[in-house]
Amino acid sequence: MRHDLVQRTTGWERFNHWLLALSFIVLVLTGFGFLYNSLNWLNTIFGGNQLAKEIHKWAGVVFTLSVLFTLGSYLGDSIRFTKEDYQWLSSLGGYLSKTTTEPPQGRLNAGQKLYYLLVVVLTGAVIIITGFILWFAQSTGWLRFGHFLHNLAFVVFVTTVPLHIYLSTAANPGTFRAMTRGTVTRAWVKRHHRKWAKEIGIE
């Protein structure tokens, strides 16, 4: 490895991340195809509504497994909230100004922790559980419960995941390679995760 690079993710983490992203995209496209008559052509791409339903269900199974697999990688870091995390949140990660520097962050910053806990784990649990309810429920009560919460969680996902994609690509040059090559530069680590830099001894 080049001396100026730092290993950010393991091969398994990257593989699982793209499993998550791919199943998610399939779920969102078919989901929109079912939600709006005007977007039903999306399901035509997946071979019609009948096939799209099967694809949606099984992509949901892949997504479920993939979310479970992320627990080992991110849950431990995410539930440990530190003083610096609150600082990060009160300055909104410095995203609203060109000059603010980021409070020193561990391997994951406060935003990533919240994204993981609130979106991936919490909303993920809601959309997964209600997905299985809709798959198997026969009673009006369960179907209404599932239909409502599945849609609510869908709104949360389609509103937050584009922000995650933006923040991990265009908004922070040098980040995307963490999920492709698995490495980031030392300069990137010092800039975005100074506490982690100290922990791994590069500062």
Partner 1 sequence: MALSETEKRRLSGVDIQTRKKGVLVRPDLCIGCRGCQTACKEWNKLPGDRTVNRGTYENPPDLTPNLYNKIRFVEVEEGGHLRWLFISQRCMHCTEAGCMKVCPAPGALYRTPEGAVAFNKKKCIGCRFCLAGCPFNIPRYDAEEKISKCHLCADRLAFGLEPACTKTCPTGALTFGDRDELIQMAKASGFEAVYGEKDLGGLGVLYAFKEFPSFYGLPDSPGLPASVAFWKSILKPLALIGLGGAVAAAAAHYITVGPKEPEEGGEE
- Point out which residues bind ligand HEM (CB under 6 A): 8, 17, 20-21, 24, 70, 74, 108, 112, 115-116, 120, 161, 164-165, 168-169, 175-176, 178-179
| Closer Cβ to ligand HEM, 32 or 176, answer by number | 176
Is there a contact between 162 and 149 (Cβ–Cβ < 8 Å)? no
The residues, any chain, with a CB within 8 Å of residue 116's CB and separated by 6 or more, are: 70, 74, 75, 78, 108
Is there a contact between 189 and 202 (Cβ–Cβ < 8 Å)? yes
Which region, left, alpha or beta, applies to residue 106 given φ > 0 means left and ψ of -120 to 50 means alpha?
A: beta
The residues, any chain, with a CB within 8 Å of residue 176's CB and separated by 6 or more, are: 168, 169
DSSP string for 27-63: HHHHHHHHH-GGGTHHHHHTTSHHHHHHHHHHHHHHH
172 binding partner 1? (CB under 8 A): yes
Q: Give the span between the Cα atoms of 126 and 152, in whole angstroms.
A: 9
Q: Please, what is the minimum distance in Å from the beta carbon of residue 184 to partner 1?
A: 8
137 binding partner 1? (CB under 8 A): yes
Applying CB under 8 A, which of residues 94, 114, 118, 126 lies at the interface with partner 1?
94
| Closer Cβ to partner 1, 81 or 135, answer by number | 135
**Partner whose footprint covers residue 194, from ligand HEM, partner 1, none (CB < 5 to 8 Å by kind):** none
Applying CB under 8 A, which of residues 1, 3, 37, 83 lies at the interface with partner 1?
37
**Partner whose footprint covers residue 34, from ligand HEM, partner 1, none (CB < 5 to 8 Å by kind):** partner 1
- For the chain, how big is the Rg over CA atoms in Å? 19
Q: Please, what is the minimum distance in Å from the beta carbon of residue 16 to partner 1?
A: 24
| Closer Cβ to ligand HEM, 46 or 74, answer by number | 74
The residues, any chain, with a CB within 8 Å of residue 149's CB and separated by 6 or more, are: 126, 127, 130
Q: Please, what is the minimum distance in Å from the beta carbon of residue 176 to ligand HEM?
A: 5
Q: Please, what is the minimum distance in Å from the beta carbon of residue 12 to partner 1?
A: 25
**Partner whose footprint covers residue 20, from partner 1, ligand HEM, none (CB < 5 to 8 Å by kind):** ligand HEM
